[in-house]
Each structure stands twice: as C-alpha cells, then as structure tokens.
Structure 1
Amino acid sequence: MPPADVEDTWSDSDDELEADHETSVDLGVPDGPVEDAAVLLDAAVSRIGGHPTFLSTPHPPISHATCNNCAQPMELLIEIWCPLEESPNDRALYVWACANGSCQRKEGSVRAWRELRFNKKYAEKLERKLARRKAKELEEAKAAATEAAKKAQPKSNPFALGAMSAPNPFGLGSQVFGGAAPTEPGPETESADRDGSPDGEESESESDTEDDADDALAAEMQSASLEDSPWKALPAYSPFYLSTASEYLPPPPKVKVPAGATVDPDDDKASKGKDGGWDMEGYENSLDIDHVFERFTKRVSYEGEQCLRYELGGTPLPFASDKVFDQLFPLPPAPPLPVTKPGFMVTPPRKRTYAPDALPLCPHCQAPRVFECQLMPNLINVLRTPSGAQKKLTDEERRAEVLRALKGSGSSGGKGMDWGTCMVFSCKKDCSAEKEEGSTWREEFVLVQWDE
C-alpha cells in the first residue's frame, strides 16, 4: 500500500538521512537463473528477463512491446508481481526496452505496462473483511457511547430518600459501585464473531477459499501460457529470479583520530549548514562535479546488486542533474533582494522538493501519477550475463562492478542499452475497466535518465 503523501525535500547529501535503519524501499536483487518450466508460467513469480507471463487470455497485442522509434519488438527487462492489498485485482507490471543503438536517448524506447485481472474470490474475501471491520468499529463506538453516558450521569446519594425506597434491599450496593445491567450482544457483534476469528484474520473456511482462489489463478495462468502464441517467437534475455530485500542504510564509518590530535568543531560547522546539510546555493555551483550522481552512487553502493527500487507512492532516486531531475525536483525561485544593500542580505539555502504534480495525469481516469519503481544500472549487467554464468561477487568486486556500470564501461558484447535509471510512475487510483472476464491493460508513464 502506498504511504501517506508527504513532502519530500531534496538533499544532495545522505548526511541528513537517518543511518543504521531500514528505509521503506524494497530492493530487487537477482537470485540465480530460472530453470523450472513451471515457474516460467507463474505470473506470481517476479523475474528479470525471459518471456512475459500474462494473467489472462486473450494475450495483449505485440504492439505493447514494440519500440515507438524503430517499430521493432523489444525485450522484456523485468516483470513484477505487485497486487495491492486492498484491491480485488491481481496485478503485474512489465517493462520492455529497445536495445538498438539508434533508439537510445529517444522517448518510447522504454515502455511499462500494468495488467489487472479481477479476482472474484479475493474480492469476496475483501467484502467479508470490510464487514468485520465495520462491525468492530460500530461495536467500539457503542461501547464508547455507553461509557460516556455512564460518566455523564450524576452520582446518586446513598442516604437520599429515593435510595432507601429501592425495591431491592441489596440495591444500595449496586448503586454505590455503579453496577450496570448486562446488555445483549447486538447482531453486528454476533455476525463479526461468527467465524471465531478477529478482524483481519481468516477462518479455516476462508483459508480454504483463498487456496481455491490461488488454484484458480494458477489454472488461469496455465491457460494463458505462450504456447502457440506469437509472443513466444519474440527475442528475450535469459530469465533470472528477482528476490526482494529491504534497503538498509548503515551507520557512517567512525573516523579514527590519532592520539593527541584535536578537532576544531568550528571547521565542520563552516563547511555545513546549521542543519547538517550542505548549503545548496554554493554547493551546486561547484565545477565539474555532479552531486546528484555522487549521491546516487553512494546510495546504490550500500547494495550493489540491486536491479530494482520499489516504493509505491514514494520518491525516486535521481541519477544525474539533467532535465528529468529539474522536472521532478525543481529549484524554488530565490527570494527577492531588497532595494537597499542587497549584498548584505543573508539568504537561506534553497531546498528542492519532489514535485509529482509535474507528471502527466492518467489518460484513462485523470488521476495523478505516483512513483512506483525504477530500474537500476546493475540490471543491464545481469541481462548481459548468460543464464547460469552469474557468480557471487565479493563486496569489493561488487562495488567495482557498480562503478563500471554507472560509468558506462560494463561488460562488453551485450545489448546497447545505456540508460542510468528508468523511473515508472503509475496511476494513483490503479484504474481498470472493472470487468470480470479477461484483464485490463494500462500503459504507465516512464522517465529515463540516460548515462552521459
């Protein structure tokens, strides 16, 4: 589920980020070649390369994977199984890219599509879950109202005349201790607790229903296989498993100070702003250094094998200072200078803020776009590797490989893709045609930062 919308302020230094913690980003890392034919037919298994596995038939037209520049079929880069928890739709994301040299740096050479398939069994489960949640909320509201009414009642005087005329000789004690008559459970409570499971948990029958839904989905995928399909004849890279890991930011290394040496804290304060971040105005004017790229390289080096960064509703990690960066993280205008003595005015550093409203709206429902994922340079290295030839690298070898990929000097002999990162922005409403038969296809918006 996407997190709540927050304003993300750009910083060109990770010094302002918390260290020694996990971020909300899921990293996709390669996990060996896919050799099981049954896995290749399972759309619920995310993978790198290979032929696409669709959720339903009929298959989409091959034009979905055609380059908008050379009109040739493109290879699949990545397929992600990414259903939303509160959605009745099965959901998968596909990203294709053209490797022809003449198509690089041109719009339409990288395309992303989202497939949605209505899952009737899971939709029924969501309805039951919603009914239990509403019943629980109603019961909690009733209990809160009863408690408030009890507190609002005036305290009775046990020595008052009315108290002595109670028909029950033991009624005095119940009045003193505020005893209340037991109430019968309402129909909502009975309905909510009928299956004996609390809100959010499944009964045994619901678990069996979900298993049936999984079996139905597997059967649907088997029928949607590419046998006797023109998709089978399209070019494809060797398939690799795509595993998920949480992004972890390690603590900064401790600087060893020689014995007897002293550190002047004013020196460090002079080089940084009062909040620990670099002054943007002077920092950006440094010559021949792209600090956005430096930050990108540093962040990626924490997990050099990452091929994918996934954070639905999050913030992309820009690759370089280019027009895409300026579009997503515009620099706010400088404050106006006073007419008198403008040279003596101290202006605060200007912070770039992530601006998703700069993205085009969904053409189908006019909902805004949100960031979903981005492809990383190491993906090109993995796609260049023949199936079964991938080996585990040491930390030092992995860092060196990442740097070679970022500088455009990776292994030779492969395809000619030279992008730095491909960002995919999807419809915030995850719109679909809302049909129970077949599936819905939506092309999502892609921004590519090329390797200069």
Structure 2
Amino acid sequence: MPPIDEDEWSDSDEEAVSEVETSVLLGTPDGVVTAAADLADAAVSRIGGLPAFLPSSEPPFPSSQCKICSRPMELLVQMWCPFENSPMDRALYVWGCAVPECQAKEGCIRAWRGLRYNDAYAAKLEKKLAKQKAKTAPVTPEKPKTNPFALGGVPNSTPFGLGTQIFEETPSATSSPPAQEEDDHETSDSESDSTSEELLTAMATSTLEESVWRSAPSYPPVYLSTCSEYLPAQKKPKLPPGVQIVDSVDDPDKNSKDVSWISEAYENSLDVDQVFERFTKRVGFEGEQCVRYELEGIPLPYSSDSVFKSLFPLPPALPVPVTKAAFTVTPPAKRAYDPSSIPPCPVCKSRRIFECQLMPNLINILRASGDGEEDRNRKKLTDEERRKLVEQELKGSSSSGSGRGMEWGTCLIFSCSKDCALADDGKSVREAWREEVVLIQWGV
C-alpha cells in the first residue's frame, strides 16, 4: 500500500484515514521449518533452530557461550541481511541465555555477523554499476551518492530474503522502483535466470555434520518472514484559520515515509513512563512482530532506563532570554536520538549504526514453538486475544510455565557501518566473523 498524500488528510473525525508506511521492516513468525535444505541455507531467516553459517570454516563454538555462566546459548534469530550494493553475503546471528541468574546482566545476549565474498554476485554488481556509470556520465552532472545502507534503493529487497539485489525479482505491489532500475531489469532478466543456480550454490552454507554446533541447545526452528510496517495516519488538528503548528523535530527529510512516528523525540519529564507507553502503542499495531529492522534508523526504546538515557540524552539547557518581555515562554527541548555513546567498530574504527531490535513477542514464539498444540492454538487466536497476549508479554505478566526463561523487554543491535571484512591486522579478507554491540532494556 503506497503512502498517502498529506493533502488528502481530513480534519473530519468521522472520515476514515488510510494507513501510512514507515521505513521499518517487521519480522514475524511464519511456520515451522522442516525442509532440510532450508535449515542448511544461510539465506533462509529463522527464529530458533541451529545456525547455518556463511564462512567456509565454521566459527569458534565459544561465540555462542553466555559471558556470565559460560554455557552455550540457544540461537534466537538468524537473519539474511546483506548490505545494498555490497559483494558480501551477510547474515546476522543472535544468541540468548535463558538461565534466570544471567538475566539483566551484560553478555547474556550476543550478536555476530558472518560475511563471505560472493564472486558471482560481485561480477554481476560490477557490471551493473559500470552500466549505470556509462548512462549518466556523458550528459548528466554527478548525482549525490545514495546511502549504501538504505534498503529502499533496491526494489523488493528485504533484510531477510535474497531480494532483487541478487535475482532481480519482479517488484512487489508495495514497492516503487526508481526509473533507472527499470532499464536495468530489461537488460538483466536473462542474465539473472542463467546465474540463479550459480548464485545459490555460491551462498550454500557449510555443513554442520560432525560439528560441535550440532550438539548445541536449540529451540525448534520457525521461518522469519517480513512485512512493511503500516501505522494509522495522524489526523490534522482542527485549528483556527491562518494558524498552523510547526515542529522541526518531526519534519526531517524522509521521502514519503510517515516521519512523525520515527523521529522519536521524547519529553524530558518522565514521571509517567511515556517511553513504555509509546512502545506498547507502536507495537500494538502489529502484535506478531518479533524483529524490527531499520538499518541506520532509530530504535524504538522500551523504557526510560540507562540505555534510553544514553541513546536519547538530555538536550543542553537553553539560555534564559534577557528581555523586557516578562512572560516570554520558551518551549522545552525534547530528547532526540544520539548514538554517539555506541563504541565504534574495534577493527576498522568506523561508527556503529542501529540495525535491528528483538521484540518481546520473540520470547513468546520461542516458548510456544516447543509445544505443537500451543502453537496451533496461538494461530487460532482472535485479534483481540492476540492483542491481550502481547500486552501481557510487554508487561511481563505472562507465565512461561518453566524455571527457565528470558525476561528482557527489547534487545538493540548496532553494527559496523562499513560492514568491514578485515583481519585483525587490518587486511581485507574474503570471510569474516565479528561480534557486534547489543544493548538490552530489561523492564519498566
């Protein structure tokens, strides 16, 4: 569904208002994974299960160990999420510890990215970029460089599927490709058909047969599908003629997306936890979401804890105006997103950017996936029953029926902005395995 035009918004409370698409992609559960080929394919995103690795030599097993109890942890999610216009295949792996004593301690959730150079796609990408350069160089001035981390630049591409960056699939009804991409599709369809099998072979994961990873604890695997996030459009307030409200915080240049929902500016007074209220309201529009993915976007904080205060710091106090107007009112500045507190990549020293976050419903899905009858009953829930279940999970009032379980509110994952594939000595390598930063918000 395309975003609506602001000019079509109505001041009437009775008139229905269409939904607005945001720049966030939502990961939702989509059935148990049973196919052996999918379980072994690193390009198939999943909740739970055993990892399907990209590097030809599997990573060291301690990568999955909890930093508190040193026990091997279960895989929470594995996501196929290559950067746009990158020759590297890429997958993100997140492990979590369910031991009660380890909860609320740093190191019980760990995230790693696996990279592998894809020769077949690298050659295709080089050819594609050369064609684009040849088209624009003679007659047009140089255009500003596009953000290499923006997912919208490639039609129908998602961080959890192969997308058209590899197979040039037909764009979906909800995507509108740039005009220059259409020409590329016309010239590359036949080439794409001939290389599909080769690319699939290039991305095939290494086997876990006779591996220590095979004995690792795991939840039953569930497919992780994606959809765009849609939110109800905000109605324009009824104001007297000639009066308008201008809020620069809520009006950044975000193309056609509904930016008022993603600016995430927060009041300084947090007597009532408005952060948690905004979280539950936003999540309530799609209660099944287990992952929110917005590369170089803005995380959705769970509560006003120390993590929130580091990512949304207090703004500097404005100087008191010295005027004769005794009743001058200066509106208080709001907290705005500032990721400068996130440590840079220790390998290439580049800044880290927000990539995705795990949502409370993921815990619910991992618990339910171990019980086939419970999973079937969950699918039969009405929208109202599902909404209440999500609310219980958000408030921490649901029961796992077990002495083991995770208790976090959300896990924020920050990755190297350059997605570097470097050895410890700084030299480029064809495969890489690097740990990234996870910030955990535990409760309200």
Fold equivalence (TM over 0.5):
yes
Name the residue aligned to 1:351: 334
Change (3 A) 1:366 1:437: closer
Q: Per-residue deviation at 1:198?
A: 4.1
Does the 8 Å CA contact 2:284/2:387 hold for their aligned counterparts?
Answer: yes
1:418 aligned residue: 407
User: Which residue of the partner structure matches residue 45 of structure 2?
Assistant: 46
Distance 1:375 1:56 in 2: 24
Cα gap change, 1:326/1:282 in structure 2, threshold over 3 Å: closer, same or farther?
A: closer
Corresponding residue number in structure 1 for 2:442? 450
2:74 and 2:217 in contact (8 A); partners too: yes
In structure 1, which of residues 400, 403, 410 is the aligned counterpart of residue 391 of structure 2? 403
Q: Is the 8 A contact 2:265 2:334 kept in 1?
A: no
For 1:281 and 1:364, the matched residues in 2 are separated by 32
Q: Give 2:221's match in structure 1, choosing from 232, 239, 247.
A: 239
Say which of 383, 399, 403 aligns to 2:366.
Answer: 383
2:167 aligned residue: none
Give the distance between the partners of 1:282 and 1:56, measured in 2 at CA: 42
Q: Which residue of 1 aligns with 2:431?
A: 439
Flag structure 2 segments of 5+ consecutive residues without an equivalent.
1-16, 142-181, 251-263
Count of aligned pairs between the two proteins: 363
Structure 2 distance, partners of 1:273, 1:203, is: 49
| Distance change (3 Å), C-alpha of 1:380 and 1:241 | same
Of the three residues 329, 335, 347, the one matched with 1:364 is 347
Q: Deviations over 1:194-219 (max 9, x none)?
A: xxx9445415245313431223323x
Letter in 2 for 1:79: Q
User: Could you tell me how far apart the structure 2 residues matched to 1:286 and 1:24 are?
Assistant: 27
CA distance in 2: counterparts of 1:19 and 1:319, whole angstroms: 27
Shift of 1:264: 10
Q: Take 1:110 and 1:133, find their aligned partners in 2: how far apart are those partners?
A: 42
Contact kept? 1:125, 1:206, Cα under 8 Å: no
Q: Counterparts of 1:98 and 1:19 in 2: how far apart (Å)?
A: 41
- The reply on whether 1:211 has 2:197 as its aligned counterpart is yes
Q: Which residue of 1 aligns with 2:82?
A: 83
Q: What residue number does 2:113 align with?
A: 114
Could you tell me how far 1:436 is from its partner in structure 2? 9.6
Q: 2:393 is aligned with what amino acid?
A: A
Secondary structure at the residue paired with 2:418? coil
Deviation for aligned residue 1:273: 7.9
SS at match of 2:224: strand
Shift of 1:252: 5.7
SS in 2 for 1:132: helix
Q: Secondary structure at the residue paired with 2:385?
A: helix
Residue pair 1:337, 1:345 contacting (<8 A) in 2 also: no
Give 3-state SS (helix, strand or coil) of 2:112's partner: strand
Q: Does 1:373 align with 2:373?
A: no
Is the Cα contact below 8 Å between 1:19 and 1:252 reproduced in 2? no
How far 1:281 sits from its partner (Å)?
A: 12
User: Do the aligned partners of residues 281 and 109 (structure 1) sit closer, same or farther apart at CA in structure 2, a change above 3 Å counting?
Assistant: closer
Q: Taking structure 1 as reference, are residues 349 and 80 closer, same or farther at Cα in structure 2, changes over 3 Å only?
A: same
Task: Compute the displacement of 1:341 (Å).
Answer: 8.3
Deviation of residue 137 (structure 1)?
Answer: 1.6
Task: Give the percent of matched residue pairs that are identical in Structure 1 and Structure 2.
Answer: 55
What is the RMSD computed on CA atoms of the aligned residues? Answer: 3.2
Please give the secondary structure, in 2, of the residue aligned with 1:140: coil
Is the 1:284–1:291 Cα contact (8 Å) retained in structure 2? no
Q: 1:107-146 maps to which residues of 2 (within 5 A)?
A: 107-141=106-140
Superposed CA deviations along residues 42-74 of structure 1, whole A, max 9, x for unmatched, are: 111100001111113211011111111111111
* Cα deviation, residue 349, structure 1: 2.3
The 10-residue stretch of structure 1 (202-211 or 305-314) with the greater mean CA deviation from structure 2: 202-211
Amino acid of the structure 2 residue aligned with 1:400: K
- The yes-or-no answer on 1:322 pairing with 2:321 is no
Structure 1 window deviating more from structure 2 (102-111 vs 337-346): it is 337-346
Deviation at 1:85, TM superposition (A): 2.7
Give distance in 1, aligned partners of 2:313 and 2:412: 17
Aligned mates of 2:266, 2:432 — CA distance in 1:
49
State the secondary structure of the residue aligned to 2:354: strand
- Distance in 2 (CA, whole Å) between partners of 1:360 and 1:404 is 34
- Structure 1 pair 283/226, CA: closer, same or farther in 2 (3 Å)? closer
Amino acid at match of 1:137: T
Cα distance 1:37–1:403, how it changes in 2: closer, same or farther (>3 A)?
same
User: Under a length normalisation based on structure 1, what TM-score does the superposition of the two structures give?
Assistant: 0.73
- The 5 Å alignment of 1:110-189 reads 110-141=109-140
Could you say which residue in structure 1 is the equivalent of 2:210? 228
